[in-house]
Amino acid sequence: MVSTAESFLIGGVAACTAVTISNPFEVAKVRLQLQGELAKNVERVYLNVGDTLVKTWKNEGIRGIQRGLAPAVCLYT
């Protein structure tokens, strides 16, 4: 039997894990959306989600891939 406090803790850990895993895709989505809005007649930097993730990793590392993670964790927990 799991107590109420344990259930609360397990739920928080699950939410933090989910947002940590999905955050890189949100970062890529936002970058692709901004590219489409801000650069109307300019050569595109990112081709698709995979290309966005690879280029972000090469240029910015883990901090670029997980940009905005702290507010996302606070929002979902």
Query: Could you report how far apart the first and last alpha carbons of the chain are, in Å?
Result: 23
Query: How far is it, in rounded angstroms, from Cα 41 to Cα 72?
Result: 32
What's the pLDDT at 77?
62
Query: How far is it, in rounded angstroms, from Cα 70 to Cα 74?
Result: 6
Percent of the chain with pLDDT over 90: 69
Full pLDDT tens readout for the chain, 77 residues = 889 999 999 999 999 999 999 999 999 999 999 887 776 777 889 999 999 999 999 999 999 999 999 998 887 66
Q: DSSP letter at 43? A: -
Contact 24, 16 (CB under 8 A): no
Going by C-alpha positions, the residue among 27, 31, 9 that lies closest to residue 72 is 27
